[in-house]
Structure 1
Amino acid sequence: MDEMEQRWLYALSAPLVALNPDADYTAPTYCFDLKHVDVEGGWGITTRPQLLDMLRTADNGHATRLNEAYRQWERCLPSEWQALIETLDSRQRAFYELASRTFGECGVGGIRAWDIGRMGFLLRSAVLHGWIDLTESLWLHGRMAARARYYYDSWASYLNAFVIGKAFWHCLGNKDEELAHEYDRQGDYIGTTVVITKLDRDARDLFAQLPWDMPLHLPERPESLGEFDWS
């Protein structure tokens, strides 16, 4: 792969770079010093097998809690949607209403970008730790790229989905009756505004060089991954 193709893959985790002043948008290793990235404290990962086990959960992350809500919003008539909402408990209703309000920004892909982007961060961090090599990282990134392009049609929708997913995750600890109000407040939450502001300020030129449909000449699946398969 040439350098720009690799940068396209690393851009999947660009929102995580925006959150870390010591990270680099184009570095295969996310940042350049282990002290600036902690995957043990946040993820409980200290070994290659643990990393690969975590990657296997990529399709079963936070997005699964909203996938059906986005699907129903796309297919339901207004009257059908209202009837559906009335059958839900308060927590599920907050989930579905969030989907209805954000569908225009991220589409039927929902917040899968939140899960995809975080896996990209893990892969880049794993190269820094020496748990995987660059070829393994690129191939695994390629599997995430396929998912991203299947569910989203532009960097804008992908990045929107990541930010919405981050807001969703941030609110999960709230009580059922507080969820809707907390979602309303997320536009002013510092963790949200930092991502949006820094991506616009620091990564605008980068994304301008990386068309969403850029051809990606990915490496063959490395034999070193053994039985690990990620379709």
Structure 2
Amino acid sequence: MEDLQQRWLFALSAPMVAVNRHAGADYALASLYPDNEFVDLKESWDIAERADLLAMIQRMTDDGHARELSSAYWEHARLLPSQWQALLDSLQPAQRVAYEFVAETSMVCGAAGIRAWDLGRMSFLARIGQLNGWLNLEENLWLHSRFSLRARYYYQSWHSYMAGFVIGRAYWNCLGHEEAKEQSLSLSRQGSEPAHRAMVRELALSPAAGFDELPWDMELELPEKPESLEAFDWS
């Protein structure tokens, strides 16, 4: 696979690179950190070995946080305004807050919602997996080819993909509030959250991100599944 195509694949975790640029994360490097030999994922992800990593990727890629809002984004895309309002009126307070958040953000990320949040983080984990010696480059690229198929199925541009990631991060940042009013207030403040603003500014202004060289519809020569992953039942 050509270097430019590899860069396209690794750009799926560009928001995670932007968040970790202060720690030396590199947009184009397959293993993410040029100056690190190992990143401990035990405390933050409960991942301590290859099997843990692959299990997390298999589960979270299609059944992560996006699952919690996918129905809401789909309903918002297909219902008439009057039907959407009737749906809101039928919901419990906490669920209504989530659906109102969907209505406020769907014009930016589309019906795909926050799937990019899950895809971007799994791309990040696969790259850390190579850094930690749990994956080789061939395996890393194959996993990324699976992420790319999903990303381009759900999104139409880097803009909508990145928006889905940022909105997903905002939603994740507000999980844990038991009261609907608290969750609503927390969600309303996410647009001014310094970490979100810094991430978006880095992605938009850093020449290292290089999105101008990576058209969304770039032709990708997707690799065959490595023999070393044949027992990994995932596609």
Both structures adopt the same fold (TM-score exceeding 0.5): yes
Between 167-176 and 111-120, report the one with greater CA deviation: 167-176
Distance verdict in 2 for CA 1:197–1:35, change over 3 Å? farther
1:203 deviation in Å?
A: 4.6
**Which residue is 1:192 aligned to?**
196
**Which residue is 2:56 aligned to?**
54
Distance verdict in 2 for CA 1:94–1:118, change over 3 Å? same
Describe the SS at the equivalent of 1:66: helix
The answer to whether the 8 A contact 2:114-2:168 is kept is yes
**Which residue is 1:146 aligned to?**
149
Show structure 2 runs of 5+ residues with no match. Answer: none
The separation in 1 between residues aligned to 2:208 and 2:140, in whole angstroms, is: 25
Describe the SS at the equivalent of 1:218: coil
The separation in 1 between residues aligned to 2:86 and 2:209, in whole angstroms, is: 45
Distance verdict in 2 for CA 1:172–1:41, change over 3 Å? same
**Which residue is 2:19 aligned to?**
19
The separation in 2 between residues aligned to 1:123 and 1:155, in whole angstroms, is: 20
2:43 maps to a residue whose letter is G
1:7 maps to a residue whose letter is R
Describe the SS at the equivalent of 1:56: helix
The separation in 1 between residues aligned to 2:211 and 2:150, in whole angstroms, is: 19
1:175-219: per-residue Cα shift (whole Å, max 9, x none)?
322111111100111221111011112157610000001011122
Describe the SS at the equivalent of 2:111: helix
The separation in 2 between residues aligned to 1:38 and 1:11, in whole angstroms, is: 22
1:29-77: per-residue Cα shift (whole Å, max 9, x none)?
0112447844222101110010111011111100011101101101111
Distance verdict in 2 for CA 1:204–1:106, change over 3 Å? farther
Q: What TM-score do you get using the length of structure 2 for normalisation?
A: 0.95
Tell me the C-alpha RMSD between the 2 structures. Answer: 1.3
Distance verdict in 2 for CA 1:190–1:120, change over 3 Å? same
**Which residue is 1:8 aligned to?**
8
Correspondence for 1:116 among 119, 144, 148: 119
Q: Check if 1:39 corresponds to 2:41.
A: yes
Distance verdict in 2 for CA 1:116–1:72, change over 3 Å? same
Between 164-173 and 191-200, report the one with greater CA deviation: 191-200
Describe the SS at the equivalent of 1:108: coil
The answer to whether the 8 A contact 1:34-1:129 is kept is no
Distance verdict in 2 for CA 1:25–1:99, change over 3 Å? same
Q: What TM-score do you get using the length of structure 1 for normalisation?
A: 0.96
1:112-154: per-residue Cα shift (whole Å, max 9, x none)?
0000000000000000000010000000100000000000000
2:30 maps to a residue whose letter is P
**Which residue is 1:28 aligned to?**
30
The separation in 1 between residues aligned to 2:92 and 2:70, in whole angstroms, is: 17
1:17 deviation in Å?
A: 0.5
**Which residue is 2:224 aligned to?**
220
1:27 maps to a residue whose letter is L
The answer to whether the 8 A contact 2:40-2:48 is kept is no
Give the fraction of aligned pairs with identical amino acids, expressed as a percent: 48
Distance verdict in 2 for CA 1:31–1:160, change over 3 Å? same
Correspondence for 1:107 among 106, 110, 113: 110
| Equivalent pairs, count | 231
2:167 maps to a residue whose letter is I
2:72 maps to a residue whose letter is A
